[in-house]
């Protein structure tokens, strides 16, 4: 039996970095998906063909953990396909991990709940990366727009059908675990720690206000909060010149708000726009060297295709 499963990519809307220290964030799943095909094979080894993901280790560790849990000896073949490259920071590692757990649970007829898939996938991520809140795993598992705290203590689904976002890729691949670790290192200095924690408290407040603005579809207010969040991320030292230029380009062409999305150091920025401003904002981002990635939110979580 061959099974095909897919899980969505993600974009951090607000709250990055602070979420690693126990504050909330808001993440949206996006309609760019990662596909996993799985089957049992008659072989001495597992076979993994995963060109879309940065490290096939995510698939490998997933298979290992799943087999350990259920005492399975049989060999499997896993092949991945994707709507997006691992370079853009849309969360291919988390999507492939989640989709692989789901696929394995189907072919071996082990009923894993979404919560179990989340927990197991988070375990794999922590084993490989050592750091992370698990927000990306939650988006890949549950889909939609989520209000989230570290380790899935809170995972609240927000009913947001359509978010008018423009996404600009900076052309630089970010090393998320490294950026998270560097911030942690900075916090070993007492003075810096106090400063950084003050920023986290401000980000926490922004995220809580943004949750209300989102639910009320108050895009103007939400945009303003996103831009404020970007300023705080600059203060944390995680933004780049290129991301700042792209954010500025979006703001001067009429976006409600704009910010980097994710760890910083590269990857993507996002802008919230009214439909009549979308083209101008996209053109402005392209003019300063960004690449537009077309996405929609309101994406379903992990599913059998």
Between CA 47 and CA 40 the distance in angstroms is 10
Backbone angles phi, psi at 46, to 5 degrees: -75, 155
Instruction: Determine whether 229 is an active site residue.
Output: no
Q: Which of 31, 42, 46, 136 is catalytic?
A: 136
Question: Which residues are CB-neighbours of 167 under 8 A, at least 6 positions away?
Answer: 11, 261, 268, 269, 270, 292, 293, 294, 295
From the CB of 220, what's the least distance to ligand PMV, in Å?
25
Question: Using CB under 6 A as the criterion, what x/- string covers residues 64-83 for binding ligand PMV?
Answer: --------------------
From the CB of 263, what's the least distance to ligand PMV, in Å?
3
In 10 A of CB 214, how many CB atoms?
23
16 near ligand PMV, judged by CB under 6 A: yes
Residues 87-106 binding ligand PMV (CB under 6 A) are 89
| CB-based closest residue to ligand PMV | 262
133 near ligand PMV, judged by CB under 6 A: yes
20 near ligand PMV, judged by CB under 6 A: yes
* 147 CB-side CA count, 13 A: 18
What is the edge-to-edge ordering of all strands in the sheet holding 268-272? 257-261, 268-272, 165-169, 291-293
From the CB of 129, what's the least distance to ligand PMV, in Å?
8
Residues 246-275 binding ligand PMV (CB under 6 A) are 262-263, 267
Residue 61 or 267 having the CB closest to ligand PMV: 267
Q: Both ends of the chain: CA-CA distance in Å?
A: 14
- Per CB under 6 A, the segment of 17-25, 100-108, 193-201, 271-279 that binds ligand PMV is 17-25
121 near ligand PMV, judged by CB under 6 A: no
Q: What is the DSSP string of 272-301?
A: E--TTTHHHHHHHHHHTT-EEE---S--B-
Between CA 166 and CA 271 the distance in angstroms is 5
Q: Which residues bind ligand PMV (CB under 6 A)?
A: 12, 16-17, 19-20, 89, 132-133, 135-136, 174, 176, 180, 262-263, 267
Q: Which residues are catalytic?
A: 136
């Amino acid at each position: 039996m061959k099974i095909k499963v897919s899980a969505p990519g993600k974009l951090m809307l607000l709250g990055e970095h602070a979420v690693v220290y126990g504050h909330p964030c808001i993440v949206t799943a996006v309609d760019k998906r990662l596909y996993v095909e799985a089957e049992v094979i008659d072989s001495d080894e597992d076979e993994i063909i995963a060109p879309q993901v940065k490290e096939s280790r995510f698939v490998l560790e997933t298979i290992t953990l799943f087999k350990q849990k259920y005492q399975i000896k049989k060999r499997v073949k896993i092949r991945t396909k994707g709507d997006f490259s691992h370079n853009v920071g849309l969360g291919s590692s988390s999507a492939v991990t989640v989709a692989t757990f789901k696929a394995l649970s189907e072919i071996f007829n082990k009923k894993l709940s979404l919560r179990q898939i989340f927990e197991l996938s988070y375990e794999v991520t922590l084993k490989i990366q050592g750091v992370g809140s698990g927000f990306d795993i939650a988006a890949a598992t549950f889909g939609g727009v989520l209000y989230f705290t570290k380790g899935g203590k809170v995972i609240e689904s927000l009913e947001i059908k359509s978010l008018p976002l423009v996404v600009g890729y900076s052309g630089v691949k970010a090393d998320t675990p490294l950026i998270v670790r560097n911030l942690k290192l900075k916090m070993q200095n007492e003075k810096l720690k106090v400063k950084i924690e003050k920023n986290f408290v401000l980000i926490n407040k922004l995220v809580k206000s943004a949750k209300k603005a989102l639910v009320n579809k108050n895009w103007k207010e939400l945009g303003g909060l996103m831009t404020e969040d970007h300023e705080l991320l600059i203060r944390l030292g995680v933004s780049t010149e290129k991301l700042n230029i792209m954010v500025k380009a979006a703001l001067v062409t009429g976006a409600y708000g704009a910010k980097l999305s994710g760890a910083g150091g590269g990857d993507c920025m996002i802008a919230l726009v009214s439909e009549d401003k979308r083209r101008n904002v996209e053109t402005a981002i392209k003019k300063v060297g960004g690449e537009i990635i077309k996405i929609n939110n309101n994406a379903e979580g992990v599913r059998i295709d």
